[in-house]
């Protein structure tokens, strides 16, 4: 597996997993899948259509190893549980705790779910948080029906295949043979971000992947298209995409998206036509079609931490509205926030306070003890415990907790002073080194006034000296002289953001995104996309219904 696949299989711990792929010697995709390790076994989750060729490839390369490759999915019903509340739903089936569920992407473990021993994989095909549940043969149907019955308490619907297909499409989960095939180099697809390790040893196709990474972007790349107009007709899958008579790429599949209320499509686009948000006037079979270029995936769900924050904020709103402390809504929301983010200190603190207000002091004490386990240096954990013990008449315990809180508070004050001292020394070192670099880069520019590294270095040095206005001309000159220098565009935009020149920063990011798209610099491209969207995003709705 290590020599035949793109990711680092040997680095996996038991219970861990990774996205992975298999290439031919020219770097072309032969299969894509996820790999999961359990002791000396490796599980592969792969599209059924890819199984025969994949298994044959494995067996072809087995010579001396004592290894067997067996298909087990044909006899095993698999259950997908996905959505922003998937973790909360399954935690409800596991006694209110998600501790036994896998946490890392692609990780898996054995759990007992509603009385059945199952494998639970951290797996998503919708872009949301999700799990793939694999029961033992013969037990799956009963478990499935039991989950649906319990799901009624959480308003969990059963998803039919057409809806699942639409969700997969929005989440950028392409199908082998339709969106990607054996003629596609992995570097031309978004899979290269997650399926390739650049630190492992040799594998088949590695040379091509490394060369494209080092020397430039692929000629074509798989991108998304958001089509304007419900009745627009795009070229058929496999047909050439043309703009003003010029071939710019090749069409793949398309899908109506309820989420975006638009037709979405996958297409391979050349370097000059794959800049995110670029609008293309594509010549279709029934006239010109306007389509906006979008990076894949089209949709990415919120993280668990983001959903936990939403639950927490809503809990505080509910608590403020519940003037007579009669409703349990805030308590349940905070418990769910903690399931989503077990280290959420603010949620534990708020939960303890609200439970105490509801005369549930024993539960409040348990919440504070859990906060103390998470952060032994939490002053508020001991302060609240002191208050809660007083209300129960436990004066000795209350005094002990008060003393702990005072000790920690004093320690934190001393630590803060030491931190300030060390930060001042570090700032002095940074300033000295920045001044030395300025001198060095100026000497370089005397020899070559257009040196991109020196121009970028001068900009960064002035930022470190807290002189952003003096940094701007160097960033601007670097981008003007080197229009594909995406790192300079990113730093220029960040500098403008710091100065509060938001509109200028958004324009710089737009130009930088185009530059990164041409060059294939995925990391700065995604960072500039994120920052530009944050700058141009409309104000958030105040209604919690709008966020949920």
pLDDT digits (tens, 9 = 90+) for 460-499: 999 999 999 999 999 999 999 999 999 999 999 999 999 9
60 and 150 part of one domain: no
At which of 41, 73, 105 does a domain end? 73
What is the rounded distance in angstroms from the CA atom of residue 149 to the CA atom of residue 154? 10
- Span 228-237, average pLDDT: 85
| 371, 399, 416 - which closes a domain | 416
Instruction: Please name the residues in contact with 448: beta carbons below 8 A apart, sequence gap of 6 or more.
Output: 454
- The answer on pLDDT for 190 being more than 60 is yes
Q: Of 166, 224, 173, which Cα lies nearest the Cα of 33? A: 173
Q: Is the pLDDT of residue 120 over 90?
A: yes
Residue 140 lies in a domain: yes
Specify whether the CB–CB gap between 483 and 508 falls below 8 A: no
DSSP assigned state of 205: T
217 or 434, greater pLDDT: 434
User: Over 80: is that where the pLDDT of 9 sits?
Assistant: yes
Q: Name the pairing type of β-strands 116-122 and 240-243.
A: unpaired
The Cα 329–Cα 322 span in angstroms is 9
Mean of the pLDDT values across residues 4-15? 95
pLDDT in tens, 436-462: 999 999 999 999 999 999 999 999 999
Residue 205: CB atoms within 10 Å? 25
* pLDDT mean over 169-198: 92
pLDDT (0 to 100) of residue 545 = 33
Same domain flag for 462 and 528: yes
Least confident of 230-234, 345-349, 538-542: 538-542
pLDDT at 495: 96
> What's the mean pLDDT in 148-172?
89
- The answer on 50 and 100 residing in a single domain is no
State mean pLDDT over 501-528. 88
Q: Classify residue 320 by burial, with Cβ atoms within 10 Å: 0-12, 13-18, 19+.
A: exposed
Same structural domain for residues 491 and 532? yes
Instruction: Give residue 105's domain range.
Output: 78-168
Q: Could you tell me if residue 307 is left (phi over 0), alpha (psi between -120 and 50 degrees) or otherwise beta?
A: alpha
| CATH assignment of the domain containing 118 | 3.30.1360.120
pLDDT at position 539 over 80 = no
Mind listing the pLDDT tens digit for each residue in 316-370?
999 999 988 889 999 999 999 999 999 999 999 999 999 999 999 999 999 999 9
Give percent of the chain above pLDDT 70: 98
Asked if residue 542 has pLDDT above 50, the reply is no
Domain match, 62 and 100 both? no
Answer yes or no: is pLDDT of 80 > 50.
yes
- The gap from C-alpha 56 to its chain's centroid, in whole angstroms, comes to 33
**Which of the listed residues 125, 151, 168 is the one where a domain comes to its end?**
168
Average pLDDT estimate for 74-95: 90
Give every CB contact of residue 138 below 8 A, 6+ residues apart in sequence. none
With cut-offs at 50, 70 and 90, classify the pLDDT of residue 106. very high
Would you call 347 helix, strand, or coil by DSSP? helix
Return the pLDDT at 538: 55
Judge whether 237 and 178 are in contact, CB under 8 Å.
Answer: yes
Q: Does one domain contain both 385 and 458?
A: no
What's the average model confidence in pLDDT over 149-172? Answer: 89
Q: Are residues 455 and 530 in the same domain?
A: yes
Say whether pLDDT at 541 is over 70.
no
* Cα–Cα dist 188/271, whole Å: 11
* 193 found inside a domain: no
Please tell me the predicted confidence (pLDDT) of residue 537. 63
If one counts the domains in the chain, the total is 4
How far apart (Å, rounded) are the C-alpha atoms in residues 266 and 256? 12
CATH number of the domain within which 473 lies: 1.25.40.10
22 burial class (0-12, 13-18, 19+ CB within 10 angstroms)?
buried
Instruction: Give the sheet arrangement for strand 116-122, strand by strand.
Output: 79-82, 130-135, 116-122, 108-113
82 lies in the same domain as 43:
no
Per residue in 401-420, pLDDT (tens digit) is: 999 999 999 998 988 898 88
Residue 425 has pLDDT above 80, yes or no: yes
Residue 519 lies in a domain: yes
- What value does the mean pLDDT take over residues 52-57? 88
Q: Residue 547's pLDDT is what?
A: 29
């Amino acid at each position: 597996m290590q020599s035949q696949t793109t990711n680092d299989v040997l680095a996996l711990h038991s219970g861990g997993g990774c996205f992975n792929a298999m290439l031919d010697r020219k770097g072309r995709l032969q299969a894509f899948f996820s790999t999961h390790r359990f002791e000396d076994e490796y599980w592969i989750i792969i599209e059924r259509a890819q199984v025969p060729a994949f298994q044959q490839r494995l067996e072809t390369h087995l010579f001396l190893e004592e290894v067997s490759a067996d298909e087990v999915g044909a006899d095993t019903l698999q259950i997908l549980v996905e959505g922003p509340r998937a973790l909360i739903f399954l935690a409800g089936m596991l006694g209110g705790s998600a501790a036994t569920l896998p946490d890392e992407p692609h990780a898996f473990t054995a759990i007992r779910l509603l009385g059945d021993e199952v494998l639970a994989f951290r797996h998503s095909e919708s872009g949301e948080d999700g799990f793939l549940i694999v029961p033992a043969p013969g037990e799956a149907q009963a478990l499935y029906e039991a989950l649906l019955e319990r799901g009624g308490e959480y308003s969990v619907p059963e998803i039919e295949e057409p809806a699942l297909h639409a969700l997969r499409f929005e989440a950028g989960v392409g199908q082998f043979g339709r969106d990607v095939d054996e003629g596609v180099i992995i570097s031309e697809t978004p899979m290269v971000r997650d399926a390739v390790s650049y630190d492992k040893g040799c594998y088949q196709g590695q040379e091509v992947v490394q060369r494209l990474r080092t020397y430039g972007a692929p000629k074509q790349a798989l991108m998304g298209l958001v089509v304007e107009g419900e009745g627009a007709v795009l070229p058929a899958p496999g047909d050439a995409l043309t703009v003003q008579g010029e071939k710019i790429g090749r069409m793949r599949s398309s899908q109506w998206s309820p989420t975006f209320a638009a037709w979405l499509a996958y297409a391979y686009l050349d370097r000059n036509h794959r800049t995110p948000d670029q609008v293309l006037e594509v010549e279709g079979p029934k006239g010109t079609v306007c389509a906006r270029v979008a990076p894949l995936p089209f949709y990415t769900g919120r993280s668990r931490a983001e959903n936990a924050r939403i639950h927490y904020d809503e809990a505080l709103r509910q608590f403020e509205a519940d003037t007579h402390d009669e409703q349990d809504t805030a308590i349940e929301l905070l418990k769910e926030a903690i399931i989503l983010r077990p280290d959420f200190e603010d949620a534990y603190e708020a939960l303890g306070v609200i439970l105490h207000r509801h005369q549930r002091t024993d539960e409040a004490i348990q919440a504070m003890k859990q906060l103390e386990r998470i952060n032994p240096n939490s002053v508020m954990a001991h302060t609240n415990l002191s208050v809660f013990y007083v209300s129960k008449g436990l004066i000795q315990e209350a005094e002990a907790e008060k003393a702990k809180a005072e000790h920690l508070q004093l320690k934190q004050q001393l630590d803060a002073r030491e931190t300030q001292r060390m930060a001042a020394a570090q700032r002095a070192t940074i300033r000295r080194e920045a001044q030395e670099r300025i001198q060095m880069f100026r000497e370089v520019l005397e020899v070559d006034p257009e040196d991109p590294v020196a121009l970028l270095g001068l900009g960064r040095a002035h930022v470190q000296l807290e002189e952003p206005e003096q940094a701007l001309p160097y960033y601007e000159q670097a981008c003007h002289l080197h229009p594909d220098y995406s790192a300079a565009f990113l730093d220029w935009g960040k500098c403008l953001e710091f100065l509060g020149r938001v509109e200028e920063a958004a324009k710089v990011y737009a130009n930088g995104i185009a530059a990164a798209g041409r060059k294939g610099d995925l990391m700065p491209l995604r960072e500039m996309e994120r920052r530009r969207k944050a700058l141009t995003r409309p104000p958030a709705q105040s209604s919690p219904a709008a966020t949920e």
